[in-house]
Amino acid sequence: MAFGLSPKFIQDFALENLSNEQFLVLATEAAKKLEWDISQLSESGFIAFTKFSMRSTGEEIKVRIENGNANLKSECTGNQMTDWGRNKQNIRHFVSVIEELKNTMAPYEFEKKYEDLKPNMIQGDQDILNESPISSKEKITGILAIFKPVQGYFITPVLIDLNILIFISMAVSGANILLPDNETLIAWGANFRPATLDGQWWRLITNCFLHIGIFHLLMNMYALLYIGVLLEPYLGRTRFLVAYVSTGIVASSVSLYWHNLTISAGASGAIFGMYGVFLALLTTNFIEKTARKALLTSIGVFVGYNLLNGMKGGIDNAAHIGGLLSGMLIGYGFVPSLKKAEFPNLKYITTMIVSALALGIAYTVYKKTPDDIGKYDAGIKQFVSNESQALELFKMKRDSPKDSILYEIKERGLYYWDENINLINSLEKLNLPDQLHEKDQKLLSYCELRVKSYNLIYKAVSEDTDQYKDSLVYYNKEIERLVNSLKESK
């Protein structure tokens, strides 16, 4: 069974009584008639790209002529998992037009048209067809090749292996492989503002290697595999790793700033970063023009679709956008050193600058992110402490002096309940999620009931009467109801 990274269709075409030159003429004429963009033309064949349309996503057509045979291949340039028959249709149309031209072209036309092709041919490089931007995907010849580092595809499999290993470790430890719970994700290093801002900055990195279920993992690893195979040969190991880690950290920082209580995990921020790097390269002349045009369309459609899909609930689009934009900036930053490969020092200077900028952005965002949840948690701890002080009244002995009881009620009990009312009112000014505002309203009602109850107790003690008994029973029931409601909402 054949294995490939992207959908393709391959067909051999026997030249029979045609020479290599005659077939090359027929093939180029057929490609022109089909309005394909031809690039990298040589004596042994050419590469062409279909135009983007409702029926095509910009497939690459590769024609290789050798030993009386032409190998015709149509392959998707995007990272779709199925082509719905487009590649087969491309080759079928191509062959049909070739046969039609073969029967109508006069013998003298072949020589003239071949001479017209010569000025556009790349001379002296018979392996030019292997230099297509998507030819690197041919390194993935089997399922095991995905996980094996090789020349030009080294960092990508290491990252894939690491993500899978961490997921397996989570599963072995008892995590649900379909949907791990929040406690598990936080324990393994997910990005969660209250924890991340509480000195646990390393979550900006660790969350990039966690996944919320096996389907989340598989989709992200497929996207990483695709962009890694395309991009790593251009960037090399150092630039690729620096770009991946840098965009991942920036994406996590943007997510941290954007979300109050969202638990964020996944490699998608860094992966969007790598797509951003590739998009930046595709908008420069670093990559051959015809290939650039087709890839820019297919990659752009993928990014656009996923950003729109990310507007749905439960998807961290903030990380996607942060990764994408930082990736584009990094991509542009790499261009000078990529174009001047003969100056290795330039490569290291740019990677150091990129790393410093990414860390600087992450540090600034980390420091500027409002820690309202942290302030809220500290306020609630103070609330509990005040409450404990106010409830000391009920620990007094029954035979305590009357003056002592009245003092405890007025100078300590009512004082601490008033302090808690003021505390909750101050916490309400923070930027909090709706559920915490709802909790605050219950806490305010709870404190107000305690104040009313304590005032009645004070009157009952000072007047030495039980005429307020029914009212106190009512207040105590309301207090109990609120306490139970607060426990249920935890």
Task: Specify the CATH number for the domain of residue 218.
Answer: 1.20.1540.10
- Which token pair is 188? 């393994």
Question: Considering the domain boundaries, does residue 1 fall inside one?
Answer: no
Q: From the candidates 56, 74, 136, 268, which is the catalytic residue?
A: 268
Residues 56 and 36 in one domain: yes
Cβ pair 374, 194 in contact under 8 A: yes
Question: Considering the domain boundaries, does residue 469 fall inside one?
Answer: yes
Residues 64 and 48 in one domain: yes
Cβ pair 226, 270 in contact under 8 A: no
Known active-site residue 259: no
Domain count, the chain: 3
Residues 343 and 380 in one domain: no
Residues 167 and 148 in one domain: yes
Residues 414 and 322 in one domain: no
Residues 258 and 330 in one domain: yes
> Residue 14: phi, psi to the nearest 5?
-75, 130
- CA dist., res. 472 & res. 480, Å (int): 12
Cα four-point dihedral sign 360, 361, 362, 368: positive
- CA dist., res. 303 & res. 272, Å (int): 8
Tell which of 132, 166, 200 closes a domain: 132
Q: For residue 269, which of 253, 281, 282, 289 has the smallest C-alpha distance? A: 253
Residues 231 and 325 in one domain: yes
Lateral strand order in the sheet of 69-75? 8-14, 69-75, 60-66, 45-49, 37-42
Question: Could you tell me the residue range of the domain that residue 204 belongs to?
Answer: 143-365
Tell which of 365, 396, 419 closes a domain: 365
Question: Considering the domain boundaries, does residue 235 fall inside one?
Answer: yes
Within 10 A of 326 (CB to CB), how many other CB atoms are there? 30
Give me the pLDDT at residue 1, please. 33
Residues 266 and 323 in one domain: yes
Residue type, 21: E
Give me the pLDDT at residue 2, please. 41
Question: Considering the domain boundaries, does residue 166 fall inside one?
Answer: yes
Question: Considering the domain boundaries, does residue 253 fall inside one?
Answer: yes
Residue type, 75: E
Residues 220 and 157 in one domain: yes
Residues 271 and 388 in one domain: no
Give me the pLDDT at residue 133, please. 64
Angle of CA points 204, 205, 209, to nearest 5°: 120
Cβ pair 233, 152 in contact under 8 A: yes
Q: From the candidates 6, 320, 326, 453, which is the catalytic residue?
A: 320
- CA dist., res. 349 & res. 20, Å (int): 48
Residues 177 and 322 in one domain: yes
Question: Considering the domain boundaries, does residue 3 fall inside one?
Answer: no
- The neighbouring-strand residues paired with 150 are 153
- CA dist., res. 348 & res. 329, Å (int): 17
pLDDT by residue, tens only, the chain of 490 residues? 344 567 889 999 999 889 999 999 999 999 999 999 888 888 889 999 888 765 556 788 999 998 889 999 998 887 777 788 889 999 999 999 999 998 888 888 898 999 999 988 887 544 555 666 666 666 666 788 889 898 888 999 999 999 999 999 999 999 999 999 999 999 999 999 989 998 899 999 999 999 999 999 999 999 999 899 889 999 999 999 999 999 999 999 999 998 888 899 999 999 999 999 999 999 998 887 777 877 888 788 888 888 888 777 778 889 999 999 999 999 999 999 998 888 888 999 999 998 999 899 999 999 999 888 889 999 999 999 999 999 999 999 888 999 999 999 999 999 999 999 999 999 999 988 888 999 999 999 999 999 999 999 999 999 999 999 999 999 999 999 999 998 887 6
Tell which of 100, 132, 164 closes a domain: 132
- DSSP codes joined into one string, 374-394: HHHHHHHHHHHHHHHHHGGGG
Question: Considering the domain boundaries, does residue 263 fall inside one?
Answer: yes
Cβ pair 77, 136 in contact under 8 A: no
Residues 183 and 244 in one domain: yes
- The neighbouring-strand residues paired with 69 are 14, 66
What is the DSSP secondary structure assignment for residue 96, as one 8-state letter? H
Question: Considering the domain boundaries, does residue 302 fall inside one?
Answer: yes
Known active-site residue 268: yes
- Which token pair is 436? 């915490």
